[in-house]
Every structure is written in C-alpha cells, then in structure tokens.
Amino acid sequence: MPGVAEFLLILAFFEAAAVYCSGFTPPNLLTLERVFPANQRVELEALRARDRARHARMLQGVVSGVVDFTVAGSSDPYLFGLYFTKVKLGSPPKEFNVQIDTGSDILWVTCSSCTNCPQSSELGVELNFFDAATSSTASLVSCSDPICASVVQPATAGCSSQSNQCGYSFQYGDGSGTSGYYVSDLLYFDTIVGTASIANSSTPIVFGCSTYQAGDLTKSDRAIDGIFGFGQQDLSIISQLSSRGITPKVFSHCLKGEGNGGGILVLGEILHPSIVYSPLVPSQPHYNLYLQSISVNGQLVPIDPEVFATSGSRGTIVDSGTTLAYLVEEAYDPFIVAITDATSQSATPIISNGNQCYQVPTSITEIFPPVALNFVGGASMVLRPEDYLVHYGFVDGAAMWCIGFQKVQDQEVTILGDLVLKDKIFVYDLAHQRLGWADYDCSMSVNVSITSGKDEFVAGQLSRSSSARNILFKFMHMSITLLVHIVSLFISLL
C-alpha cells in the first residue's frame, strides 16, 4: 500500500496539472460579419471608388489633438464593403459594431453627444452610442495622464484647458474625419483557456469617444458604430492587451469569401502546418512585406524588383480593409500580358468600362493559370483564378471575368486587399515581426495556440459556430479524463 508521501505526490501532480492548464495566456475570439454580401453583384468601379477613399484614409497620417476642420465628403455609396465585429464596452456592457481596420491603430466608437453623426444605418445594424456618464467604470483620460502625452504631439492643442480631457482628431484624405476624446473603460471578451471558453472576461482599455464626424462617416446608408484599429502602435487594442499579458502579441483572421462572407478574428495565433512566414518591413506604420516577384503559371513575370522596394511612399501593404488588390503600373502591365498570353487559346480578352476582362466559355479553373506572389524568405502566396478575377456577368452567352487587380497610377504602393486575403488564414505575429498565411476553408474550425509565460503552448480548436458552453464541456471532459487516470494510478498502487 502506498504511504502518505506517495499519496501527497499524486495529489501534487494533479494540482500542478490544474495550475498548468490554467496558466496560459488566452487568445480572444471575435466573429466577423461581412457588411456587403459576397454573392451580391457590385460594379468594379464602385469597388475601386470605395478603395480609393479607403486608401486616402489609410495612407494619410493621423493628426492628434482636438481641432476644427472643414471636409469635402464623398457621395460614393459603396464605402461599406468591409468586415466588422462586435465589441462590448462599459458597465453595464453595451455592444458596438466596429469595422476591422489593420490600417489604423485606435478603437473608437460614437459618443452619445456626437455632433453631425448618423442616427440610423441602412446596413441592417442598430447604431449604439457610448455615454461615459452612464458607465460606472468609465473615466476620462486627463491631459496630465502619461497616455495622453504619448499620443498627443507637443505642438498641437490636444487637450482642453477647460475640461482637462485628452482629445484626438483623425482627419482622412477622402474628406471624412472624426474628433473626440479618450476614455478608459472595460472591454469584454470571451477568453479561451486551453480548450475552455470563459465568457464575460474584461479589462480596462483606452479608446476614443467620437463627438464629431464629417464626410462619409456621416452617411446613414453605410453608418456603423466605429472603427477597430489593429495597427502596431501602443494604443491599438492588441498592443494594450499584450502589454498586460492578457493576450500574446499576435492576432489572426480568416475571412470567408463565399456565400455571405463572415469569418473569425482571433487575438492570438491560429495554427496550421502549411503556414509560411515572411518578415515585416521594420519601422513602417502599416503591415508592409518585401514582395520580390510575381509568377504566372510558374514563370516569372518580367518586372523590375525595384518597383516593389519599400522606401518613402513605396512598398507592399497587406490590408484587410481594401476590397480589391492594387499593383503599381510597372508591375500591372506585364502581369496583364502574362495572363492574356496564358489564356489566349481559350479566353477572349476584351476591355469593359476600362477593365481588362475575358470572355470565358467554361470554368475559369480550366483556363486561367495559378499566380504566385513571391516574398522574402521563400514564402509564396499562391492565388487561384478566383483570387485575382471578378465575375462581371455574361456577354453573348459567355461568362465575363475581369482582372481584380487594379493599376495604381497616383501612388506607388501595392496593396493586397480582401480579393487575395479571403479564404486564407493570416497571422500577424508582432512579437516576431512577421506575417504568415495559408490557404484555408474559413467556414471550418481553426486551431489556436495559447501561450504561457514559458513560451509553451497547447492547441485548442475553435469554430465559427462553437459556443462557449461547448468548448467548456470539452475542457471539462479533458479534466475528468485526467482525474480518471490519476485515480487509476492511485488504485494500482494499493
């Protein structure tokens, strides 16, 4: 019969196992919905117009401080083809729909005192407004707060001497803008520990409360509660949570391209054996990669590599907020020639509304070649025909497909948007300054890693339809199984 020491050793083992299982840094999950249905036809020019406004906003520098400005807004209605998610803020928690934006850093939502802000939305979502006075956990960020000093430029009037509030102003190049002040309040999220999901986790974060909006942000046909910035700066949510050890310094998404879209966003790392990584260009405000070349059907397209070099306003950006994809002119023209040559026997090239299109008598997968974007480190992003073509209806009984890549004429930045990002896992590993991807069916479950302070991890499986209760039951099953093994071990020693 085992002695007391052996019995205590077994109990210590079980306790250590329990501590081990609870000691992981949790990733956090947000489900995504696509505002503009993927199966609804939209003109390419409308998508380009949306992206033009998007790029003007994304590439414009942020001006800190509360300022008055006059903006010439755009009347283009197709500015809402973005993925969005829900966040809960305040006490009691209130839900907000916010656009996912890897091209900016700050989470901001509309204040109840907002001037010139839309009161309703035609996107099928109910607009909500944040009111710090009704939240028991809200506090304003004062001018003397170190956070304010870190985000406000010394030369700008970022603080109000009367209210002592740390303010901001984001002015976008498309003529829209927002200003307001910073607030600290609770953010709620589901935390995954091992294979368990614990709802109602929360932590205080700093975010913007918008008191003024202008331009396209005021349009009710595409209104939403705010923007969820996922950039690399200190006030982005991923930076705030990772700096406190709440999440790893990595986030991932998998955007579904078919049907009604949707997908999953993880504040953590999605795991897949096929993920390839390429380093991020250092000291850049956006997620810039070293694009080296483009291959069509395994053959390099004759493009001078210098056109992809990152310097000043040049470079290659991965941006989930852009619908199409954009190539600099020196790369676009050779790319079109290569695609046309590869399909000359089966597809008839035509120009439609200024777009390079093709009349296709059969499936595009039987005619169009694979395309590979080749990055530093030997990482290639292989594109299927549907990843660089857009269906544009029918002409004389034949399907017409147009090149989804657009020619960049007024800037020197290549931008990879949802056209090529969809149906892939993307991992933004900020800790190691790299970006990874792998082809994936984003309607399926994904595996995530939960990293501990000792750089250990365990894999858990998540799906778009998984509820917190189902995941918790899986975790309980693991714990019961472990207990059964320990009890069996103890009995065998008797």
For β-strands 94-101 and 226-229, DSSP reports them as parallel
DSSP-based three-state secondary structure for 491: helix
Rg (CA), the chain: 25
How far apart are alpha carbons 108 and 95 in whole angstroms?
A: 13
Q: Which residue has the tokens 């053959």?
A: 299
Bridge-partner residues for 178, per DSSP? 170, 213
Asked if 62 contacts 208 with a C-beta cutoff of 8 angstroms, the reply is no
For β-strands 380-383 and 196-214, DSSP reports them as unpaired
Closest by CA position to 203, among listed 186, 190, 189: 186
How far apart are alpha carbons 409 and 131 in whole angstroms?
A: 44
Start-end of H helices in 322-424? 329-342, 418-421
DSSP-based three-state secondary structure for 295: strand
DSSP line for 180-215 = EEEEEEEEEEEEEETTEEEEEEEEEEEEEEEEEEEG
101 is catalytic: yes
| Catalytic option among 101, 174, 185, 418 | 101
Distance of CA 279 to the CA centre of its chain: 18
C-beta contacts of 127-130 below 8 A and 24+ residues apart: 127/223, 127/224, 127/225, 128/94, 128/95, 128/96, 128/97, 128/225, 129/225, 130/89, 130/90, 130/94, 130/96, 130/183, 130/209
Q: Which two tokens stand for residue 104?
A: 């900016």
Q: What are phi and psi of 285, to 5 degrees?
A: -75, -20
| Catalytic option among 145, 185, 225, 319 | 319
How far apart are alpha carbons 72 and 74 in whole angstroms?
A: 7
Closest by CA position to 472, among listed 154, 198, 243, 279: 198
225 is catalytic: no
CA angle 462, 466, 469 (to 5 degrees): 115
Residues with Cβ within 8 Å of residue 328, at least 6 apart in sequence: 307, 308, 314, 408, 412, 413, 414
Residue positions annotated with a catalytic role: 101, 319
